[in-house]
């Protein structure tokens, strides 16, 4: 979301005052935090997997059995 400079904010508030929208003026003033500074760097967390971790290929095989009713189960 782009930031507003003070002059633009004053103009918007003036227009809202002309239309007697005190409720919107309050919301806008609450939303505009003078002390907010966006973070300088944006780090993306990257999951790093080691070569020693297991994989699906190393998992044990399993067997499946089908009973007389056609239901499958692990055996």
- For 4-59, the pLDDT digits (tens) are 777 888 898 899 999 999 988 888 877 776 676 666 766 767 666 666 666 655 66
* CB distance 66 to 72 below 8 Å: yes
Q: What is the pLDDT of residue 15?
A: 93
Task: Report whether 11 contacts 25 (CB < 8 A).
Answer: no
Report how far apart, in Å, the C-alpha atoms of 41 and of each of 4, 18, 33, 38 are. 21, 40, 20, 9
| The pLDDT of residue 20 | 92
């Amino acid at each position: 979301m782009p930031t507003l400079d003070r002059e633009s904010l004053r103009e918007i508030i003036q227009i809202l005052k002309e239309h007697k929208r005190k409720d919107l003026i309050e919301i806008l003033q609450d939303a505009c935090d003078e002390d907010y500074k966006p973070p300088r760097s944006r780090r993306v967390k990257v999951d790093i997997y080691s070569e020693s971790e297991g994989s699906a290929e190393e998992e044990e095989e399993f067997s499946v059995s089908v009973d007389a009713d056609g239901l499958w189960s692990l055996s």
